[in-house]
């Protein structure tokens, strides 16, 4: 009997699931219908800042696979078609053609929810004014670029100083803007501890970006034409010819909520290890709309990241296609850069550890990316958290220049393996003068952390 | 009672041991005497190619700690003094002052053997002629630089195409030499499988280096003054104004052999996990003169690498100083570069796996260092070996450009943790377009390898 797989959402998770299922099952065995409300499929939202900056010239470079390419693989992809309801009991979804407005029900045997995330945009006055832009979708990116083309002024305000915010600050600076970043946190990059965020603040200031921390935006002020002209906080106004919102995202789960599917603390869908929605044998979910297990804390988290979405899609596609795969969870790795400043983190911050009852020691070391005598050796700061008593690695944060970001992968694997910092001191990491000091910065941190664990005692 | 620690060899392992022991025990508790036959202590031999190339300007930049600095920390360091005999039964060593020729016995309570390695230089005609240079010690490096200053011709022949050979090829090319590398292996970099070594051959050829593989050097031809003028193989002669020997090293264990200390298959000292020489409670050994446990194959290997020597020294110093530390072993990680070509390996090659009875699958993937659309994305080839049936990771080799070398650390940690390639597919590695495709090249290899393991079946 031919089954039907229905996919809601045509980006990384949804289309990876569809593609993987198609690899395992022929069109005679499995019909695949995918609904996408936007204009694009399978694109790299993470690449948008680099398109805005001009590093990536053509929008289409960000598209991994076009609708036509998906269709050529026997996936019935319906663009500009929005699913408006999931009827779990009836095993069907209702979808609206956004051009014609026509709606129809489509039955499914297997449903994949990959509705992604939506920007976390507070309902403040002026937030929807012309000149205020999110950068969540390719459509958003195009709208921002259109504004930048039309705008003569060179003052940009970025609201938010997480990954999107700092990357957009670089992008706008590269386009010749005077950039102000307004951030409600104590320091930029709230995914780091404040002491490491401080290093990012200092480096961004050094790059000529005006950093305003501890500042809550109250409204966007507009001019006589209704266009954004400034961003206001309780204390001040920051003139802006363009405003970019980079405040993070939340799971887009309105449909799932209406269908009474299980949601977690952050509003994301809850799944089992096979990415099946809990309690629902025929419904899977993946990508930015789900919560994932944090292997270090044992808690669910929401992390919107293309690399996870792709993995989820693979796992879902394998399972829907009759294979077997699981997504065991994450350790919370993330890397970013602002010009030549590299920022990386994995595992728990101090406050994450405290929140789950873990006691810890913390050490911070300064080292270099290469042997000190080798040309281009750049400073690098590594912070490491280890559990008190057991010495288990809990987290690593790195701020530096070349070679800082991907070094965090060492810690990501060690966290996954449950290593102690003492065990890490013996890791056989690549050493040659152009690539590392004789003691890699991560090893230096591990050595210091293992001493700190012993000194802390019982 | 004050004890005496005697150290033979004043480079990384020996002086790290001395320094670490000194941190734990005061001069009142522990006297430390160290013998070094050369002119330098604690220097980076790995940095010599970059000094020869001119990347590192001053020799002294390669010296981590001078004799004076060691002495200031209450280490009785005796330079230009060669230990000529170890009297194990008597608990003493005989040392000769190389300037005066005077010899004397020194008693020890704890002995540390850190005699390093010696170049693997076959006894062929002309090998000792002027113009033929090893690059093992700072003295060697200085002698080579002196020759380069004096020599008008611009033809250099490098014998050997391992790490030292390829790094010296780059160094001499940077100094304006026409470089020929004569290598007895099928491909350069015999620490890689030949298919990956082939990529190095091609890249080096592309850089303008003449690569002669499968060629056994039979002699160095000399001119009327006795100076080297060419390198001869069975088939051909390669004219040379300077000859550099980069053929690897063997453990320097003549003293240990004479003292009937236990040596392994490669002539290196055998120790326990605390770096204590097997069967000898008061003798430790570390650095390039020992064999180390390969955690993947379960066999002893000889690996001369500064990063291991430093770790050994730390472990020995901790144990001699009354603390506790172990060196659990290596996974065989090594990284190198030739101009912008990066070369990395960890774990077992195909022939290593076969030699210990492991059956395996192998996959090779092509990917890029950054997201394909991000400027500067460079090709990268990753080869992965996984055990048949279990899927346990056995080894990874990477050849590419920027970002290729240190990516091998991911595999180094995974090997240490005993991960399967299937487990690796779920690793939470850092992703952002400037640093990685959405699937990191190592993850792509792991996915393909896990499929290969399943296809291979039982």
ipTM of the complex: 0.96
Mean pLDDT of chain A, nearest integer: 96
- For A315, nearest residue in chain B (alpha carbons): B426
pLDDT of residue B238: 98
Per-residue pLDDT for A190 more than 90? yes
**Does B397 lie at the interface with A, CB-CB under 8 angstroms?**
no
Q: Which residues, listed in sequence order, are joined to residue A242 by a DSSP beta bridge?
A: A156
Per-residue pLDDT for A455 more than 90? yes
In a domain, A329, yes or no: no
> What CATH code is carried by the domain that includes residue B391?
3.30.390.30
> Within this chain, do residues B143 and B232 fall inside the same structural domain, yes or no?
yes
Query: Within the 438-457 window of chain B, which residues sit less than 8 Å (CB to CB) from chain A?
Result: 438-440, 447
Give the nearest partner residue to B426 out of A12, A327, A431, using CB atoms.
A327
> Within this chain, do residues A428 and A366 fall inside the same structural domain, yes or no?
yes
pLDDT of residue A23: 97
In a domain, A416, yes or no: yes
CB-defined contacts A:B, below 8 A:
208
Residue pLDDT, tens place only, A19-59: 999 999 999 999 999 999 999 999 999 999 999 999 999 99
Residue pLDDT, tens place only, B359-412: 999 999 999 999 999 999 999 999 999 999 999 999 999 999 999 999 999 999
Residue pLDDT, tens place only, A363-372: 999 999 999 9
CA distances from B22 to A252, B184, B320 (A): 60, 45, 10
> Within this chain, do residues B128 and B114 fall inside the same structural domain, yes or no?
no
> Within this chain, do residues A234 and A260 fall inside the same structural domain, yes or no?
no
> Within this chain, do residues B235 and B125 fall inside the same structural domain, yes or no?
yes
The domain boundary, picked from B247, B276, B311, lies at B247
In a domain, A357, yes or no: yes
> Within this chain, do residues B243 and B255 fall inside the same structural domain, yes or no?
no
Are residues B334 and A430, on separate chains, in Cβ contact within 8 Å? yes
Q: Which residues, listed in sequence order, are joined to residue A87 by a DSSP beta bridge?
A: A92
User: Of B24, B46, B63, B210, which residue is the catalytic one?
Assistant: B46
Q: How many domains does chain B have?
A: 3
A278: containing domain: 3-118+250-320
> What CATH code is carried by the domain that includes residue A31?
3.50.50.60
In a domain, A47, yes or no: yes
pLDDT of residue A1: 81
Give the nearest partner residue to A334 out of B410, B430, B447, using CB atoms.
B430
**Does B55 lie at the interface with A, CB-CB under 8 angstroms?**
yes
Closest chain B C-alpha to A88 CA, distance in angstroms? 30
In a domain, B313, yes or no: yes
Query: Within the 250-279 window of chain A, which residues sit less than 8 Å (CB to CB) from chain B?
Result: none
Q: Low-confidence residues of chain B, pLDDT below 50?
A: none
> Within this chain, do residues B175 and B212 fall inside the same structural domain, yes or no?
yes
SS (H, E, C) chain B: CCEEEEEECCCHHHHHHHHHHHHHCCCCCEEEEEEECCCCCCECHHHHHHHHHCCCCCHHHHECCCHHHHHHCCCEEEECEEEEEEECCCCEEEEEECCCCCEEEEECCEEEECCCEEECCCCCCCCCCCCEEECCCHHHHHHHHHHHHHCCCCEEEEECCCHHHHHHHHHHHHCCCEEEEECCCCCCCCCCCHHHHHHHHHHHHHCCCEEECCCCEEEEEECCCCCEEEEEECCCEEECCEEEECCCEEECCHHHHHCCCCECCCCCECECCCCEECCCCCEEECHHHECEEECCCCCEECCCCHHHHHHHHHHHHHHHCCCCCCCCCECCCEEEEECCEEEEEEECCHHHHHHCCCCEEEEEEEEECCCCCCCCCCEEEEEEEEECCCCEEEEEEEEECCCCCCCHHHHHHHHHCCCEHHHHCCCCCCCCCCCCCCCCHHHHHHHHHHHHHHHHCC
pLDDT of residue B458: 84
Q: How confident is the model at residue A121 (pLDDT cuts 50, 70, 90)?
A: confident
Task: Kindly state the average pLDDT of the residues A228-234.
Answer: 96
User: Of A3, A4, A24, A46, which residue is the catalytic one?
Assistant: A46
**Does B409 lie at the interface with A, CB-CB under 8 angstroms?**
yes
pLDDT of residue B200: 97
Task: Kindly state the average pLDDT of the residues A131-158.
Answer: 95
Are residues B374 and A50, on separate chains, in Cβ contact within 8 Å? yes
């Amino acid at each position: 009997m031919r089954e039907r797989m229905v996919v809601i959402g045509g980006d990384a998770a949804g289309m990876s699931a569809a593609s993987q299922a198609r690899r395992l099952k022929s069109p005679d065995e499995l019909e695949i219908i995918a609904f996408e409300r936007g204009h694009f499929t399978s694109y790299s939202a993470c690449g948008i800042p680099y398109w805005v900056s001009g590093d990536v010239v053509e929008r289409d470079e960000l598209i991994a696979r076009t609708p036509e390419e998906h269709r050529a693989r026997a996936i019935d992809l319906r663009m500009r078609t929005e699913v408006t309801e999931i009827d779990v009991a009836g095993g069907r979804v209702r979808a609206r053609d956004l051009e014609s407005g026509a709606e129809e029900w489509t039955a499914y045997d297997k449903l994949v929810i990959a509705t992604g995330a939506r920007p976390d945009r507070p309902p403040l006055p002026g937030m929807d004014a012309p000149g205020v832009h999110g950068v969540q979708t390719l459509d958003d990116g195009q709208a921002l670029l259109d504004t930048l083309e039309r705008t003569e002024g060179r003052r940009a305000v970025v609201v938010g100083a997480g990954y999107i915010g700092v990357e957009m600050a670089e992008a706008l600076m590269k386009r010749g803007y005077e950039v102000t970043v307004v951030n409600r946190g104590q320091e930029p990059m709230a995914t780091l501890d404040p002491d490491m965020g401080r290093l990012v603040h200092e480096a961004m200031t050094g790059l000529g970006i005006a950093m305003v921390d501890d500042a809550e935006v109250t409204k966007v002020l507009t001019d006589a034409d209704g266009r954004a002209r400034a961003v206001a906080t309780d204390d001040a106004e920051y003139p802006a010819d363009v405003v970019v919102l980079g405040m993070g995202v939340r799971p887009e789960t309105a449909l799932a909520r209406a269908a009474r599917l299980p949601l977690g603390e952050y509003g994301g869908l809850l799944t089992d290890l096979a990415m099946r929605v809990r309690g629902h044998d025929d419904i899977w979910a993946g990508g930015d709309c789900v919560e994932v297990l944090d292997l270090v804390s044992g808690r669910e988290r929401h992390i919107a990241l293309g690399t996870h979405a792709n993995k989820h899609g693979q796992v879902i596609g394998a399972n829907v296609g009759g294979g077997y795969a699981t997504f065991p969870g994450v350790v919370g790795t993330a890397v970013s850069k602002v010009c030549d400043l590299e920022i990386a983190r994995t595992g728990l911050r101090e406050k994450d550890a405290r929140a789950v009852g873990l006691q810890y020691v913390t050490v911070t070391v300064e080292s270099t990316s290469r042997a000190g005598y080798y040309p281009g050796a750049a400073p690098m700061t590594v912070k490491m958290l280890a559990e008190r008593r057991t010495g288990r690695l809990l987290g690593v944060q790195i701020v530096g220049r070349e070679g800082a970001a991907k070094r965090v992968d060492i810690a990501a694997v060690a966290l996954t393996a449950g290593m102690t910092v003492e065990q890490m001191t013996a890791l056989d990491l690549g050493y040659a003068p152009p690539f590392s000091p004789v003691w890699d910065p991560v090893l230096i941190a591990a050595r210091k952390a293992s001493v700190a664990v012993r000194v802390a005692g019982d």
